Amino acid sequence: MDFDKSDMTTPPDLSKSQGTGAVPELLPVYQDFLPPCNQGCPAGENIQAWLDLAQAGRHEEAWQVIVRDNPMPAIHGRACYHPCEPVCNRQSVDGAVSIHAVERFLGDSAIEKGWMPLSEATDTGRKVLVIGAGPAGLSAAYFLRQFGHSVEIREAGSDAGGMMRFGIPSYRLPRDILDAEVARLEKMGIKITLNRKVEDALKEKNEGGFDAVFVCIGAHISRRTEIPARDASKVLDAVSFLRGMESDEPPVIGRRVAIYGGGNTAMDAARTAKRLGATDAMIIYRRDREHMPAHDFEAVEAEEEGVTINWLSTIKEMDTDATTITIEKMVLDENGRPQPTGEYETLEADSLILALGQDIDSDLLRQAPGIELKQDGTVIVDDAFMTGHEGIFAGGDMVPDERSITFAVGHGKKAARYINGYLSGEPYVHPGKHPVVEYEKLHLWYKTDADQSEQSTLEVQERVTGFEEVISGLTEQQAVFEAQRCYSCGNCFECDGCFGVCPESAVIKLGKGKRYKYNYDLCVGCRACFLQCPCHAIEMVPANDSRVVALREA
């Protein structure tokens, strides 16, 4: 819906209104706002819109709305850390809507029933090269194809998926789900060339006759740290360890495994070690639980599976002849930084896995004039994701930002829009956003107890014996119920509250799906509709507001 940014002002203080009268100072207008779930989604999904369709049982339509912004719902319903849910306004009542679980249900339904994204694009004759088949590359390729461009992805690995395949264990993301969502992209006409490592992006662009390149190689280089050790063969990095799980011969780690780091990768490595038969999987992290980079539920699930976490500890030495690790206890100073205490203890371990973060291999860009790289290997891009060399764009882990698959998919979508603008000669301009509706703005005249639908999980003793998916999906009945818990924050869902409460019959119904309008010749500005609207889709504005004036003249 189009809107005038000049009207996006702070709502007037209704406590100072003079009330009703022949010439009311404030009048109601219907206005769309931005729900906090939509604002919180790094992929830019219109969550509220597809929840509305899902709650009505219109599942394929709901899925089509998702894939306008995210081509891999079944993956994200499992592997996204769903930042949309902590900001859900229902969190303040009886728990957030389980958005990721409904998305997973819709994604799985699409795979089962063979749904394909709708497209009205015609071939443009333009060719785009995407380097890297991770979440950013797959996303960019999808949206570029939706614009009608010919797209080829070149991937150094033997399979598509990037860190979704080689960094997320299969007990969180089954490989058949990943393969199915990738296969859909190929069915759309996207060419994926595997085992093709690009050494020089500019050369590849020129020799292949590509009109643009999007570089989105994942962060696959593990950071190292100096740990005195007599046998370096017993020290692995987490990325190589997890990647090795995709091979025919899993890594040999022994019965006692130490993992150094406090991020999600460390948790995944520890949980994977347990599944490989480690009797002891010990995480060593220099800060406390409050300051760990991993999501708390990751630590909870790891501990449930028998992983031990040694908080406020750092490794000083590894004597691998005796399989002994010396750790020093730490304390946090007033700034939350770990400081040594001089107190030491020893742990017995057969191997050590380093999970200290990952860096970028950006050598393929060094031959392109104008491209600037930061010390950590990330690339400097402008607001349109273009590097300093015209026609070469970069995103995902290649640029400074939060590293997650959902951020990467968001990068791919945005980059595709800018690349399409570059190729078409019509630069993409990001539209403005509506104001966000927080919980305090809702007028919930109804309060119902509808607790969040729980996804069942494997029993702990079953989890650690293999790589079967730990968390199950919702049934259709559960998914519909969960979608129905959405408050439709900030957007009218035609509850008829305003129509029923108006004492002057100033509210006019326009028919199903068309919402309402006001007859301002009858409206006295009493605010009854405003106070009755549960989702805050009505705002009280000055009587001379441009929206009121326009509606009067219509």
What pLDDT is recorded for position 254?
93
What pLDDT is recorded for position 322?
59
Q: How far is CA 42 from the centre of its chain?
A: 5
Lowest-pLDDT choice from 105-109, 149-153, 251-255:
251-255
- Considering the domain boundaries, does residue 399 fall inside one? yes
What pLDDT is recorded for position 231?
57
**pLDDT above 50 (res 1):** no
The residue range of the domain holding 91 is 36-116+445-476
If asked whether residues 336 and 273 sit together in one domain, one would say yes
- Considering the domain boundaries, does residue 439 fall inside one? no
**pLDDT above 50 (res 3):** no
Name the pLDDT band for 208 (thresholds 50, 70, 90). Answer: very high
Q: What is the pLDDT of residues 25-63, one digit of tens each?
A: 999 999 999 999 999 999 999 999 999 999 999 999 999
Contact at 8 Å (CB) between 409 and 103?
no
**Looking at 341, 357, 373, which one is the last position of a domain?**
357
If asked whether residues 329 and 455 sit together in one domain, one would say no
Mean pLDDT of 381-403: 93
What pLDDT is recorded for position 8?
39
Q: What is the pLDDT of residues 362-375, one digit of tens each?
A: 999 999 999 999 88
CA distance 229 to 95: 48
**pLDDT above 50 (res 16):** no
Which CATH number covers residue 456? 1.10.1060.10
What pLDDT is recorded for position 225?
78
Q: What is the pLDDT of residues 331-348, one digit of tens each?
A: 999 888 999 999 999 999
For the question of whether the overall pTM of this predicted structure is more than 0.85, the answer is yes
What pLDDT is recorded for position 9?
40
The closest of 358, 276, 274 to 309, measured between CA atoms, is: 274
E strand spans, 256-370:
256-260, 280-284, 308-310, 313-319, 324-332, 338-348, 351-354, 358-359
Q: How far is CA 154 from the centre of its chain?
A: 24
If asked whether residues 310 and 228 sit together in one domain, one would say yes
Q: Output 320 or 552, whichever has higher pLDDT.
A: 552
CA distance 68 to 49: 11
User: What's the mean per-residue pLDDT of the chain?
Assistant: 91
If asked whether residues 364 and 215 sit together in one domain, one would say yes
What pLDDT is recorded for position 18?
45
- Considering the domain boundaries, does residue 151 fall inside one? yes
Q: What is the pLDDT of residues 129-141, one digit of tens each?
A: 999 999 999 999 9
